[in-house]
Amino acid sequence: MGHFMTTVSYFVVLFISAVLADGGLVGVNYGRIANDLPEPTKVVELMKSQGINRAKLYDSDPTVVKDFADSGIKLVVAIPNELLSSVVKKPSFANSWVQENIAAHYPKTQIEAIAVGNEVFVDPANTTNFLVPAMKNIHSALVKLNLDKAIKVSSPVALSALQNSYPSSAGSFKTELIEPVMKPMFEFLRSTGSYLMVNVYPFFAYAANSDVISLDYALFRENPGVVDSGNGLRYFNLFDAQIDAVFAAMSALKYNDLKVVVSETGWPSNGDKNEIGASQENAADYNGNLVKRVLTGGGTPLKSNSVLDVYLFAMFNENQKTGPTSEKNYGLFYPNQQKVYNIPLTEEGLKAWKGGKRQSAPVSGGGGGNNNSSTSGGGIGGTGGVSTSSSGHTWCVANDKSGEEKLQNALDYACGEGGADCHSIQPGAACYSPNTLEAHASFAMNSYYQKNSRAVGTCDFGGAAYVVTQTPKFGKCELPTN
């Protein structure tokens, strides 16, 4: 997940399958950054008790994969970002990985897809150039084992891959990604009959811009809608607007025939005081209304015939996540397997669900407005652009619990390949004092974050940073907003 969730080695995502005639699949992430979660065998049983028949892992832990054997649950496994270079440089490594992590378990464990990396474009280790070659090598290894028809290959992409996302009709990919990565990846997906995975979080856009985004619009509640000035379509929720920005970006490159799967989305049930909108009520409304929207069928305003498959984040609250309080509170379940709140997860559950219909008090700006500035990645989608008031600003600061090595790597990357403006933390400059790793890393990572228009996923650095909504100061140095 962009924004604190790129440590793929510890993540598992599962699908809750509920298929209607014209509906899609609804999924829920099963993260494991916690020390109090049930054993995987018990989690598999919980999935089955909830009617779940699809699961997606963000690693290939053999004990977890084995626990899905004979469960009736179809599985997606993943290759962590740190292995992509090995997959590319040594085709024999790719062959061995597929043999040991896929073929060894298949078909007792019903593996149906492989996710190659996770949000590679925002990985501070800069593994972008390895992505498409790695996908091809993994697919070639599947071909050798005659598994390529049964098992698809894809890669989850953060919404920050977009250069523009507002209005949705103006959606476009970042220029530097188009020729070297996006087009080759789309060609690969098309030729292999696969699909694009995209991670979408309306919560981040709302929390950072609550003065111009209506809460009703963000939570799928009743609202008057927002008209896209480019194509005249009316949007009634931020989620659809963000998805259509992706569709528009793909269409601009002539790949509008590819299927899009929302590999991550969610809303926290608790957060810090400055994390606007994080509450149990809002989380229940967002996730419950999203489930209803997906299971009852219908596509987006731009692609009305496209069936959406969506993975909710997350299965459990995770007590070892870094960052603000919200990061530990995306779960649908507590570690004791009790529900955090009641929402439907299947067609049967949807019939009895009474939530999600309330209308909250109006929010200033109403989700409309005349601000035509584009957003990058974070994607306000069909709302009125990024607020220029202080209440809409966010900053990126160092996570001092991530350790000196991660902070130093993040500092080096931001000031180097990341292109951050680090002049102010040089000896004698305005923000050199205090001369601490935390202060200097915060300045550098925030510069990178602001340079990238505060896009979702650009303040993570492998868990070394997180977003705050109040102006951070180190000594006399106040971090800038641009």
Annotated catalytic residues are 119, 264
Displacement of CA 432 from its chain's centroid (Å): 34
Q: How many residues does the chain have?
A: 482
CB atoms within 10 A of CB 388: 12
Q: What share of the chain is helix, strand, coil (3-state, %, to 5)?
A: 35, 15, 50
3-class secondary-structure state, position 336: coil
Q: Which of 380, 452, 418 is nearest to 163 (CA)?
A: 452
For residue 282, what are the CA distances in angstroms to 25, 115, 251, 439?
22, 30, 33, 34
Pairing label, strands 309-313, 156-158? unpaired
The token duo for 257 is: 């025939």
> Tokens 């292999």 sit at which residue?
192
Rg (CA), the chain: 21
For residue 368, what are the CA distances in angstroms to 82, 168, 226, 234, 371?
42, 13, 6, 11, 9
Q: What is the DSSP string of 265-303?
A: E---S---TTSTT-SHHHHHHHHHHHHHHHHT----SS-
The token duo for 337 is: 């397997």
What are the φ and ψ backbone dihedral angles of 108, each rounded to 5 degrees? -55, -45
CA dist., res. 27 & res. 312, Å (int): 5
CA dist., res. 407 & res. 24, Å (int): 41
Q: Which of 79, 373, 380 is nearest to 200 (CA)?
A: 380
CA dist., res. 218 & res. 239, Å (int): 7
CA dist., res. 399 & res. 467, Å (int): 10
CA dist., res. 381 & res. 90, Å (int): 41
Q: What is the dihedral of CA 17, 19, 25, 28, to 10 degrees?
A: -30
CB atoms within 10 A of CB 204: 23
